[in-house]
Structure 1
Amino acid sequence: MIDADEMPELPDPFDIAPVRLTVDLSALAENWRDMAKRSGSARTAAVVKADAYGLGLEDCGTTLYEAGARDFFVAVVQEGVTLRAYAPDARIFVLSGIWPGQERMFFENDLVPVIASEEQLAFWMGVIAELGDYPCALQVDTGFNRLGLPLQDALALAEDVSRPASFSPVLVLSHLHSGDAPSAPSNKAQLESFRQVSAAFEGIESSLSASAGIFLGPDYHFDLTRPGIALYGGEAVGGMKPLRPVATAAARIVQIREAAAGGTVSYGATYQLARPSRLAIASVGYADGYLRSLSGSGVPLRAGGTAGGYGYVAGHRVPVVGRVTMDLTIFDVTDVPEGAVNAGDYVELFGPNIPVDDVARAAGTIGYEMLTGLGLRHERRYLEAE
């Protein structure tokens, strides 16, 4: 039996992890400051829903709070409860609103429900009638047809002199459905509708713009902006260079293998090698959020002959070949000089050399899904903000 005292010390888990994620908190803080500057006279919130877009609510929330954010948006009440510990005196808005049984969670953690439907409004009126004045926000639908009171109902509510005095919204908000397409006529149509809302609720702060809307200019900023994807280094507007990259995902290469011309690769034998090749087998797959649609062949999105995903190793972009599997993905490293890449090295999946949105496009999706879909097996390292 091996003596435990003779065993080598345990290495840093990050150094030996099959898949790992590096989160640059300095870049996150700088991106928030950048969006705050672009927001002009409007205050700038931070959207941290979905575990801060997959990058970690605790660390990202703390960093954004320390950078100066004092308004936060989460999707569900449980996220707000978690965030409260890291943003002690911030306003935390819960976008999905409030449901029966959640009152205590809201009140004890000082969370602000975003009332998003007629049913929630009726429930909320009952809550404040029983428990007294408590702040809320009111979402108005200006054309998205997702959440929010219909425009005319919201305007009627603003003029309703019989509404309870304890109904005291601190914010009215709406959401642009095509903010990432600056020339879309609907942006101006939604802006004009929201201006009616803002005027009707005079004296109450207004918010229309998420990341993309901020780039549309001051007319869209109102009192509070709500950047999300731009903070995390994703594209807010199609074709516009994103801010600083925040997340880098990488996978360990398990094996480099030689394969003959004419051989096939991965499930279904859908990819045939046209030349003698060197293949790097990496410890990442769709269980880690590296989507199956990034396969080099053999999936519907690739049926038209379009290329799949790429990795980056030893200064080279290397294509995915064959199907991505649950735990493994195969990259063609034939064009990387021999000896420059070896088993145990790491291939970048996305990061400073391959933007997350480029990977997303190759998968037929968007950067939001790549980030929020990161699997549980990524060992994480946070580079602390200065």
Structure 2
Amino acid sequence: MNREVPVQSWPCSYYLNIERRWVPGRLSLTPTHLRFREDNAETFSVDFHLSSISEIKKESSSYIFSSITVLEKDNAKHWFSSLQPNRSAVFNVLEHFWREQLLSPRGEQGEAKTSKGKELINIATGSQKRLEDTTRVLHHQGEQFDNVMKDLNKIEADMATANRMLSVLEAPVWWPFSGNPLKRFTSTASKETSASDRHHGKEGVIVTIPIVFSHHPDHSLKPGKLTVLLSALEIADCHFRLLHRYERQDVDDLRAITGHEIAVRQRFIGKPDITYRIISAKLPDVLPLLELQYGKKMEFLEEAAMFSEKWRNSPSDRGSPGWQTDSWLLDTIVRSGPIAGDQAEAVIQDQEVSESEAQELRKILMKLKSIALEAESELELQDEALDEITSSVDRSVFSIDKQTRRMRKLL
């Protein structure tokens, strides 16, 4: 569990009851644990599961100012002070993840069992390595296609933003005779009816999750709600008062910073961008929906890459020698029973291997089969990628020519 990526971390001070003194360090929060490490220390001074917390409070006294106390179920009490950027921001994040852990507790899963059939595994890995070597070039080519598609998607997203901004420049709101009166009337009427449509479910509410958020340039974090709709994103406070609505076409970029933190931005000309930073324990369940809706505008940073569907299906994830042996396909086959055939049974009987070793061997054999099937699937995906790249290039060239003509008219 020590390898968990922190959701958030803050500089602070921790009170040592035994020594009766404050020590500086860093408080870090993961999806399941709360930890504190002193400055220049290699190990955590405090490390416990969120489910073991019975209470989180804001406290202060004549000796302790602006502190957060965390009470464990065994009555162990922890004091954290000098929190940066401020106590309220840290408290809101801690309380959010603690409550989500209580509402949907997840038992700690044990580490994967180590292989007990080393000898049999070594026999099978020779063939596995040879097959992986022959498919490595194919997978590398697939990575290059993925990179090309990513760049083309960014170009298309930039073209969409340019199109929206050019529309603003072509019909500025301060020009009394600009725009289409009928269009403005239709837009106004649609806004007036949007609230009633929403109550009747016509807008397609997909999911609503609890969050803590901040609105740039204010970095203080507050509790609220995020609603994902078919045509928009809505951010509301904890009393369900709507604070901002991002129409789907107005989202210029959506960045997944970690699996539990995103930033949504809408850009403008002549006034500040509208940017919201959102943190939630439920975001890992929502990220696939956002990627499906805003794929060309959504960017996954390094710590959030594992939550991307493209990353999980990328050739590099399948082609490395460190393939995961506990995939759903292999587990399903292993659970279905031993391999049929007299030859496999004879080998197991002659070697007198245990059941766990036989299962591990079956996993490796199925991995070989899976590699071959994935190589075939990769060829089909690359054929589709080539067609998509060709279409995307044509669209980009057409869009660039169109925007160029519009900009020349403005000049």
The structure with more helix, counted as a fraction of residues? 2
**Larger radius of gyration between Structure 1 and Structure 2:** 2
TM-score using structure 2 length = 0.24
TM-score using structure 1 length = 0.25
